[in-house]
Amino acid sequence: ASFPLLCLRSPLVTPLIFGLLVQAPCTQPSTIPRPNFVLLLADDLGIGDVGCYGNDTIRTPNIDRLAKEGVKLTQHIAAAPLCTPSRAAFLTGRYPVRSGMDAVNDYRVIFWNAGSGGLPPNETTFAKILQHQGYTTGLIGKWHLGVNCESRDDHCHHPLKHGFDYFYGMPFTLISDCQPTETPEMDRAFRRKLWLSTQVIGLITLTAALGRVTGLISVHWKTLSCLAAFSLLFFISWFSSYGFVRYWNCIMMRNHEITEQPMVTDRTTFLILRESISFIERNKHKPFLLILSFLHSHTPLLTTEKFLGKSRHGLYGDNVEEMDWMVGQVLDAIDKEGLKDTTLVYFASDHGGWLERQEGKRQLGGWNGIYKGGKAMGGWEGGIRVPGIVRWPGVLPAGTVIDEPTSLMDIYPTVVHLAGGAVPQDRVIDGRDVLPLLRGTVAHSEHEFLFHYCGVHLHAARWHQKDTGAIWKAHYVTPIFKPPGAGACYDRGFCPCFGEGVTHHEPPLLFELSQDPSEARPLSADTEPLFDTVIRRIGRAIEEHRRTLTPVPEQLSVSNVVWKPWLQPCCGTFPFCWCDKEGDN
């Protein structure tokens, strides 16, 4: 009681206290030591596939342990419902439309290692900032953000150009084509059309030749030769890419060196885990950032014999349980090196589970719990609401559940802040520093609005009305489910973003997610008195958001996505690309 009186009476103490008050915000971060970062990113994992999010049949004890020892986010939102744009947003803290990593066409992800599109060199990842702050940075596993621009060794989109000191893994993504025993997955419908066209052209050529030989049709030999040459060239032009997908896309790299072409899938899980643990052991005496970007649980669901047939959900469940075991191995390595209290561990998925991924009666995609929709659907919760868990013993309160809107983009400013860096001031950063929210020093997320894109097309937006706790979500475009009411686009394999496969809503579909998280009961002006007010407010927010967008080159344009032989990473002399350096070792 006497201290304030003393301050008022002392001319020396007053400026001292004032100086401390002014400096407090600047010195506050130093009270929290700079941690190591281990960021675990699953691939295509549905929020309903994890025990701590309600699944009681797939066993995920290690991920559940993270939640028990840390903070579980129940409204953790991906910035896109597909791999490439979501991962671009994760690393840059920006909606992918800002970097050109969202598509205007149906090619919504990087399709080839030999494409020229990818994460632009002028984007600043949080890894690059941490590198400048003295961190050793590593990415192990999946990249899927491009490799080259103009030549097969310029590596302009490579992880090492984006702030990583070490890379081991797939520059592309895991697909069923990587497994010789599986049905090809990549561009399946288009490949059928190309093969059918080849057969038609070949049949025309053969008919013309037979007609010429039998005298039934008058065809000049020069015309026949041109037809035959065109038929052969047409076949070669597409088969040279699609016929060798396993060699062109299914490769493993260490830094710039190709170690397996094609990858030997039987040992991939072991190698990725070994590399992750080795990275932690090598860098235990200095600050480090490790992103373990799992190939699990993407098809073809590479699963070792130890886990096959062990789950109650077939191969997909086996695969998720193996990934959980890998999480446990990484956590054990952190504990073994005495780094548990100095390491922030984060676990998430890049987007929702793939509902349409089936082979016969086998379900090979994930489950999104109570949430409607899934992978590739930009608006529905099932495509973008993902697991989000953060653990940092002694700093973050254990066993906490936060039901506030957060984004994968928030990792960017949060990690940069904790590492002592500063976010770039020359561009819009859409993520928000969530450390105060995670620590419980603030009650609400900084996100008032979040915008949900499907490609470059805005499908939905949400408004977190903090004074009431309401979370309004307006859908302007939704995919047409087939069969009707099925909850996914089983006729296509992927739900589209535009064209005949979507419905435009005027007025928009409106849901209040805190009351209706499954988006089952759309509101209207008749049932919701605030309907018009909410729609107008969200509409103004969208207009303000769009004014912050600037034109950028389209990284996923057809010209950037198409296979270019001169950009093909090759272990050998192109087109004879083959090596197995891991086997040699």
Q: What is the CATH number of the domain that holds 147?
A: 3.40.720.10
Structural domain includes residue 553: no
Structural domain includes residue 398: yes
Residue among 281, 274, 392, 262 nearest 334 (CA): 281
Q: Are residues 260 and 386 in the same domain?
A: yes
Pull the structure tokens for residue 155. 């590596």
Q: Are residues 114 and 205 in the same domain?
A: no
Pull the structure tokens for residue 198. 């080849």
Structural domain includes residue 148: yes
pLDDT of residue 208: 81
Q: Are residues 98 and 165 in the same domain?
A: yes
Give residue 376's domain range.
Answer: 36-174+252-445+567-580
Side chain identity at 45, as an amino acid letter? L
E-strand ranges in 377-522 read 385-391, 400-407, 449-454, 457-465, 470-479, 502-512
Q: Are residues 230 and 308 in the same domain?
A: no
Which of the residues 26, 76, 132, 144 is marked catalytic?
144
Last residue of a domain, one of 221, 242, 263: 242
Q: Are residues 213 and 305 in the same domain?
A: no
pLDDT of residue 5: 32
Work out the burial of residue 494: count CB atoms within 10 Å of its CB; fewer than 13 is exposed, 13-18 middle, 19 or more buried.
buried
**Cα→Cα distances 375→77, 309, 474, 489, Å:** 13, 25, 19, 10
Query: In the annotation, is 144 catalytic?
Result: yes
Total count of domains within the chain: 2
Q: Are residues 238 and 256 in the same domain?
A: no
Structural domain includes residue 549: no
Spell out the long-range contacts of 215-221 with Cβ–Cβ below 8 A and sequence spacing 24 or more: none
Side chain identity at 135, as an amino acid letter? Y
pLDDT of residue 222: 83
Q: Are residues 153 and 98 in the same domain?
A: yes
First to last CA, the chain: 73
Question: Strands 71-77 and 136-142, how do they pair?
Answer: unpaired
Q: Are 502 and 479 in contact (CB under 8 A)?
A: yes
pLDDT of residue 180: 85
Residue among 128, 170, 179 nearest 145 (CA): 170
Q: Are residues 572 and 433 in the same domain?
A: yes
Work out the burial of residue 314: count CB atoms within 10 Å of its CB; fewer than 13 is exposed, 13-18 middle, 19 or more buried.
middle
Pull the structure tokens for residue 435. 């450390």
**Cα→Cα distances 222→141, 207, 217, 229, Å:** 53, 15, 14, 10
Give this prediction's pTM: 0.91
| String of DSSP letters for 137-200 | EEEEEE--S---SSSTT--TTSGGGTT-SEEEEESS---GGGSTTSPP-TTHHHHHHHHHHHHH
Structural domain includes residue 426: yes
Pull the structure tokens for residue 204. 């025309």
Last residue of a domain, one of 204, 224, 242: 242
Last residue of a domain, one of 242, 272, 287: 242
Mean pLDDT in runs of 10 for the chain (585 residues)? 35 38 38 93 98 96 98 98 98 98 95 97 98 98 98 97 98 93 78 84 85 79 84 81 91 98 96 98 98 96 96 96 98 98 98 93 93 97 98 98 98 98 97 98 97 98 95 98 94 95 98 98 97 98 98 97 96 94 82
Which of the residues 76, 83, 457, 475 is marked catalytic?
83
Query: In the annotation, is 298 catalytic?
Result: no
Q: Tell me 119's DSSP state.
A: S
Q: Are residues 110 and 70 in the same domain?
A: yes
CA distance 503 to 326: 41
Structural domain includes residue 545: no
Q: Are residues 138 and 200 in the same domain?
A: no
Q: Are residues 135 and 265 in the same domain?
A: yes
Structural domain includes residue 466: no
Q: Are residues 122 and 169 in the same domain?
A: yes
Structural domain includes residue 556: no
pLDDT of residue 201: 86
